[in-house]
Structure 1
Amino acid sequence: MPVRGHVPEKGLRVSGRPPGVGRWGWLGLLTLCGLVDGAARLTLPAVLGRSVDALTTHGRAGPLLVTAAGLVAAVVAAELTEIIVTGTVVADRTSRLRRRLVRHILAVGPQGAAKFPTGDLVSRVSVGAADAARAGPAAVDVAVAVLPPVGSVVLLAAIDLWLGVAFLAGVLLVGLVLVTFTRRSTEVLSAYQRVQGEIAGRLAEALAGSRTIAAAGTRRREQRRVIAPLPELHRQGRQTWRMLSRAAAHTALLGPLTQLAVLATAGLALAQGRITAGELFAASQYALLGAGLGGVAAQLAVLARTRAGAARTAEVRAVPPVSYGRRRLSAGPGAVELRDVSARVAGRDVLHPLSLSIPAGGCLAVVGPSGAGKSTLLAIVARLREPETGSVLLDGVPVEQLTSHALRSAVGCAFDRPVLVGTTVSDALGPGLPSDQVRASATATQAHEFVSRLPRGYATPLVEAPLSGGEAQRLGLARAWHAERLLLLDDATSSLDMITEHRVEQALQRGARTRIVVTHRAGTAARADRVLWLDGGRVRGLDSHRNLWSDPQYRAVFT
């Protein structure tokens, strides 16, 4: 059942896939190549055996040798095609899985993505998707690899029943080894990938806080923290190779023993006149071919890795995307109403039930100590997270009933440490918007002057635009400026000097949009219509700044 507001993957094209060839078409071709390869390998010993008999009996075997040459050519052609098709399928599937994962991660929103560390998510998209993409070819490889041993049993039994019995005994022992290996290797590889993701997560955290680490002089301690899981990764890796080596050793021992048993039985059958010299030659080749079941261990290891990768990607895709409604906003000024809104994180109440109304065009300042629930409240109003209870209404419409476009067009968010996304400065301020609209928002937020001084102005690549904290905040404000009804400012002017902040606030007042402002500055709270004072997720006060100022505990919030 499709999720409302979720864009389906239908019609998604990847440049590496030729038109008209689907994933199942490629896997079908891969299976066909494997069957041709296996059938040719199984037929070749019989043809060569008959050639031996023909040479010893008639002295000529030209047609049979030509057939054998054709079978060898078929094997070579099938294997070359398998290599090309496997590369095509894996590259195509990897690209598609990564695109779907990225789209899904963005669709689940900040609350859903927070279930996984950032570095772990990157690991799942890069490594996990690549491993999962091999699932189809790996399954085909394992299935086709079983064909020669099974066919060898049947054909050996057709030559002589006791040859089939001798071979089957060895094959069953090898199969038991491989089943045990597959079960254990899947568990170990899952643990290996989990630890790998944990290291990637810690590294991502360290890179994000590299300036703080350098300034605090904690580089060595942070190095130890990032690589602390390496011994566990090493242990899981050693266990994987130990299991693979054991499986290879067992199959390497059982394979020759199986061949020896078949050859001994064939020699006895030849001496008794039950088989010919050519059939003895064919039996030796089938024993050699069937003993190749040991090589399935490596293919099973690949299959186990794909299963582990598929499980890790499935965990991400199991997080439901944010669902949007179908309603749009009619003409309205931007009135906001909160009805019994609350929030919990890890079983702890971070915002107790809260109800309030903000009139259209009004300004509500939200103040309180760290951990009071201020940012959580703004995230709920912006629908960046879902409330535990209650609902938020914008101009009388519950925000969860709005379409994604209606909600994001009406509500804009600016943060204390904005992350600017895009190729150029212009992209970061308003992707797809007209240049005059982008410039107007930059002018209103006092950003136009310093942007104009950049090497290429608004076309300057973000990576080439050195920005101070205050400049980044002004660009973040400019990005949110396009909101039509409601602006949510989460300490978004904390890095601005007093004069710049005052000019920005004047521009905000002229915009006549409703504003909810998280602030730690008394002056900003004083200019708001009302102040919501939070402490420990509870409302301590809801009044004007002037009336609240008489409380010494309120004044302590700004010290």
Structure 2
Amino acid sequence: MTTASFGAVARRGGRWLPFVAVAALSGTAVTLALPAVLGRAIDAIVAGGGSGTWVALAGGLVALGVAGELLGAYAGTITVATAAAWLRERLVRHVLSAGRGVDAGDLVSRVSANAVDAAQAGPTAVSVATAILPPAGSLVLLTLIDPWLALAFLCGLALVGAVLRAFTRRTAEVVGAYQRAQGRIAARLTEALGGARTIAAAGTTEREERRVLAPLADLRAEGERTWRVLARSSGQAAAAGPLVLVAVLAAGGLALAAGRISAGDLFAAGRYAVIGAGLGGLTGTLAGLARARAALHRVGEVLARPTIQYGPAALPPGPGRLEFRGVAVRSGDATLLDGVDLAVPGGAAVAVVGRSGAGKSVLAAVAARLRDPDEGEVRLDGVPLTDLSHGALRAAVGCAFERPVLIGGTVADAVGLGLARDRVRGAALATHADDFVSRLPLGYDTPLADAPMSGGERQRLGLARAWHAERLLVLDDATSSLDTVTEMQISRTLTADGRGRTRLIVTHRAATASRADLVVWLDAGRVRAVGSHAALCDDPDYRAVFV
């Protein structure tokens, strides 16, 4: 299933959803039976007979109704929690597989708030479905008492139904707009929190506050629209309800005067009229249904985004030869890579250079299969990357970035979660990360939250994490924050890799390019030239890349 449908989310409520339905049906049965039982008790009292049996039966029905309410509340809570957990897991897993396309703040809004609203699908659907039964049952029972009562009931019920129909249509629109406004605020807030130090240093806190809260006016407007719709519909339903009761009681009074019904029947008819008028109380349930549908739409937008699909293939033995065949990548109307044909020799250290916006990071992402090209294909040792299994691809290819995000509980986890300590330390030694890790209070067991690191130190851990790759290292400006001495040491390690892996190194530094076996010069998404740094330096445009 690509998206989360209403029925799929309802089914994910688990085995407790039927209990919600059972509780709702038992409550409906009690609601319909109680007026008839109390009517019989009244008739027995009027006739001077014993009413104890009927009163006891009414008490039993009330107890059954209370038990049903408790069961419904308990089962509904578990159902919603189960469905929300399933939705959140799917959302997070899908986003991590897709890798891009959703703003972090908006995603948090969808995972936290919208997933819970969407998880209400099952209980809300049961509530809406069973809410129709009491008025329908009341109509049948009123017909049995006296057909004229049923006709009066139907006339009033048509008015209540018109109110609910208009309410449902208006609510679906305003709830969706409200949730979108919430998502915009969350997105801007997350972005601002990520750059909090920069904002403080620039003295633009007030301006940033206004930018983050700018959608608040829209949120308030949509909230007011929601409450106006709810208030108007509730008021209309409240006015329509007494009209139903008055119509039924008027018809019942005439029937009682004509001797067609008893006093107990009139009491029961009044209660059934109240039940029918209570259809107006569905406004809250229908509002919940509208919230669930709008939230499902927002969740579905995330789940509909394409994810990277993997094949079943494994890599044959090979030196790590990397080939780009007619690779093109687009983003909207912009062309990021345009017809790239490139063969990277196995085991070579290849520097990728070019001006900002030339497509270097996109080339690196395609090489590591962090995104797929719109045209063409990338091969590793003759096998298209799209044919490789997830395990084969990630074991063969390692990536390091300019701003690595470190994950895991400890420093050791950040370098190699689940790997043996000797492999973790070996990678750290190779990338000169062991120098500062060994000085931490608990060394490799230091919690990441307790390990203050500079940008260069984070980059070294990011390099260490990628070091476990067996065949290809893709480094996207992964040494830009290092000091000159450390950068030179790591650059030498990379260019003289004793394991013979292919290294694709995106860099802005001439020194790194000079140590590479080969340089790929990108310009406006195209390969302008391939050669040694010394040979390319004859071109003044090439030299200008490093200025």
TM-score of the superposed pair, with normalisation by structure 2: 0.96
Query: What letter matches 1:529 in structure 2?
Result: D
Query: What letter matches 2:79 in structure 1?
Result: V
After superposition, give the CA deviation of every residue in 1:148-199 in whole Å (9 maximum; x if it has no partner). Answer: 1121122112111111111111111111111111122111111111111111
Query: What letter matches 2:156 in structure 1?
Result: G
Quick one: which of 310, 318, 323 aligns to 2:304?
A: 318
Q: 249-258 vs 149-158, which deviates more?
A: 149-158
What is the match of residue 213 of structure 1? 199
What is the match of residue 263 of structure 1? 249
Partners of 2:329 and 2:46 in 1: CA distance:
88
Query: What letter matches 2:165 in structure 1?
Result: V
Q: 536-545 vs 242-251, which deviates more?
A: 536-545
Contact 2:398 2:467 in 1 (8 A): yes
Query: What letter matches 1:457 in structure 2?
Result: G
Residue 22 (structure 1) shift: 7.5
What is the match of residue 150 of structure 2? 164
Q: 465-474 vs 21-30, which deviates more?
A: 21-30
After superposition, give the CA deviation of every residue in 1:505-527 in whole Å (9 maximum; x if it has no partner). Answer: 23221332111111111110101
Residue 52 (structure 1) shift: 0.9
Quick one: which of 499, 515, 535 aligns to 1:547?
A: 535
What is the match of residue 58 of structure 2? 68
- Is 1:304 the counterpart of 2:290 in the alignment? yes
What is the match of residue 179 of structure 2? 193
- Is 1:179 the counterpart of 2:165 in the alignment? yes
- Is 1:450 the counterpart of 2:436 in the alignment? yes
Residue 540 (structure 1) shift: 2.3
Quick one: which of 115, 128, 136 aligns to 1:150?
A: 136
Contact 2:492 2:515 in 1 (8 A): no
Quick one: which of 422, 438, 460 aligns to 2:446?
A: 460
Partners of 2:367 and 2:12 in 1: CA distance:
43
Quick one: which of 225, 248, 259 aligns to 1:273?
A: 259
C-alpha change, 1:472 and 1:364, in structure 2 (3 Å) is same
C-alpha change, 1:107 and 1:334, in structure 2 (3 Å) is same
Quick one: which of 346, 371, 375 aligns to 1:360?
A: 346
Partners of 1:68 and 1:299 in 2: CA distance:
28
Residue 312 (structure 1) shift: 1.0
SS in 2 for 1:511: coil
Residue 232 (structure 1) shift: 0.9
What is the match of residue 104 of structure 2? 118
Partners of 1:365 and 1:410 in 2: CA distance:
19
Quick one: which of 77, 86, 93 aligns to 1:87?
A: 77
Please list, as runs of the form range in 1=range in 2, the aligned pairs for 1:43-54 lying within 5 A after superposition: 43-54=33-44
Please list, as runs of the form range in 1=range in 2, the aligned pairs for 1:479-494 lying within 5 A after superposition: 479-494=465-480
After superposition, give the CA deviation of every residue in 1:120-175 in whole Å (9 maximum; x if it has no partner). Answer: 11111111111110000001011112221121122112111111111111111111
What is the match of residue 67 of structure 2? 77
Residue 498 (structure 1) shift: 2.1
Partners of 1:104 and 1:494 in 2: CA distance:
31
Partners of 1:513 and 1:221 in 2: CA distance:
49
Residue 364 (structure 1) shift: 1.1
Quick one: which of 514, 518, 525 aligns to 1:526?
A: 514
Q: 428-437 vs 262-271, which deviates more?
A: 262-271
Partners of 2:161 and 2:227 in 1: CA distance:
19
What is the match of residue 27 of structure 2? 37
What is the match of residue 341 of structure 1? 327
Residue 400 (structure 1) shift: 0.7
After superposition, give the CA deviation of every residue in 1:377-406 in whole Å (9 maximum; x if it has no partner). Answer: 000011111112111111111111000111
What is the match of residue 252 of structure 1? 238
SS in 1 for 2:520: strand
SS in 2 for 1:97: helix
What is the match of residue 410 of structure 1? 396
Please list, as runs of the form range in 1=range in 2, the aligned pairs for 1:426-445 lying within 5 A after superposition: 426-445=412-431
Query: What letter matches 1:36 in structure 2?
Result: S
What is the match of residue 419 of structure 1? 405
SS in 2 for 1:322: coil
Contact 2:167 2:230 in 1 (8 A): yes
Please list, as runs of the form range in 1=range in 2, the aligned pairs for 1:464-475 lying within 5 A after superposition: 464-475=450-461
Query: What letter matches 1:296 in structure 2?
Result: L
Aligned-pair Cα RMSD in Å: 1.4
What is the match of residue 489 of structure 2? 503
After superposition, give the CA deviation of every residue in 1:349-400 in whole Å (9 maximum; x if it has no partner). Answer: 1111111111111111111111010000000011111112111111111111
What is the match of residue 12 of structure 1? none
Query: What letter matches 2:293 in structure 1?
Result: R
Partners of 1:133 and 1:250 in 2: CA distance:
29
Residue 24 (structure 1) shift: 5.2
Partners of 2:95 and 2:331 in 1: CA distance:
20
Q: 57-66 vs 428-437, which deviates more?
A: 57-66
Residue 307 (structure 1) shift: 0.5
Residue 249 (structure 1) shift: 0.1
Structure 1 segments of 4+ aligned residues over 2 angstroms from their partners: 21-25, 505-508
Quick one: which of 240, 256, 270 aligns to 1:284?
A: 270
Residue 502 (structure 1) shift: 2.1
Question: Quick one: percent identity of the two aligned structures?
Answer: 57
Query: What letter matches 2:149 in structure 1?
Result: L
What is the match of residue 399 of structure 1? 385
Partners of 2:77 and 2:424 in 1: CA distance:
45
Partners of 1:339 and 1:281 in 2: CA distance:
83
SS in 1 for 2:479: coil
What is the match of residue 556 of structure 1? 544
SS in 2 for 1:239: helix
Residue 256 (structure 1) shift: 1.0
Contact 2:128 2:285 in 1 (8 A): yes
- Is 1:104 the counterpart of 2:90 in the alignment? no
What is the match of residue 15 of structure 1? none
Partners of 2:13 and 2:221 in 1: CA distance:
37
What is the match of residue 7 of structure 1? none
Query: What letter matches 1:48 in structure 2?
Result: L
Structure 2 unaligned spans of 5+: 3-10
Query: What letter matches 1:98 in structure 2?
Result: R
Structure 1 unaligned spans of 5+: 3-20
Residue 321 (structure 1) shift: 2.0
Residue 25 (structure 1) shift: 3.1
